[in-house]
Structure 1
Amino acid sequence: MTNTMTATRSQAPLRRVLLLDAAASGALGVLGAAGSSALDDLLGLPAALLLGVGVFLVVYALGLVVLSRLATVPRGLTWVVVLGDGAWVLASVALVVGIWSDLTVLGAVVVLAQAAAVAVFAELQYTHR
């Protein structure tokens, strides 16, 4: 019992970061999914892509909430989140620097801003793993 309580307390910062990441991912996911048809021209991204990414982010956010609520957050799963976040950042930067030519300036700003936020979450999750 003491080990579980100690693990829970020592993982409190990681749990908070996971929940903040879940809140941000979930909010962006709902916005992307619900506003996909309104955002496509504004951002230069297809509505289908925005919808798909939005749904993924909502599911991802739910997974982060579940992970943060485990008695002990497994180190291996934390690494999956950190590496996944790193891949997301790289894919986002690649999208802006050349893969997606239809991005508007606002679209590029939004993609880079969310990539920066994801990089911060990845760093915090790595630090507190």
Structure 2
Amino acid sequence: MEYVVTAKSQDSRGALSIVVLSEEVLVKSKPIIQIGPLQLGKGGAALILLLILAASFGGGIWFYKKRQDKLILRVVFAESEVSKIFKLITEDVETLSTALQTPPTAEYDYTLKKLQENLKKMELYIQKGLEKIKK
């Protein structure tokens, strides 16, 4: 806003001076934030806060999308692992079923132990994969 200031003085006797008119005076509100020569009023501070808010929102969306992409990759990896595990189990069961058709031999015991070990390993792999997905 622009104003014009008029001034007159009065001495101790009560005498008044001539009224003096100034040039136009530009009046600004007191700055809310001042860093060196940079001064921000209400509008500037609101603009800065709005920009910070928009940047935070954009960063949040970017982080969420990255997290979703990583989660999708982990799920695909877990599906692949589960598929491999069931393929191994199927092969071991077929080997065991052919071994059962013959009299018990050392191959039967070996295949049974191998199947048990594979099941334990597979259980650990599945648990680790699911824990990664949860993170």
TM range (shorter): 0.3 to 0.5
Report the TM-score when normalising by structure 1: 0.40
Which has the higher Rg, Structure 1 or Structure 2?
2
Q: Choose between structure 1 and 2: higher strand proportion.
A: 2
Instruction: Give the number of the structure with larger relative contact order, counting CA–CA contacts within 8 Å between residues 6 or more apart.
Output: 1
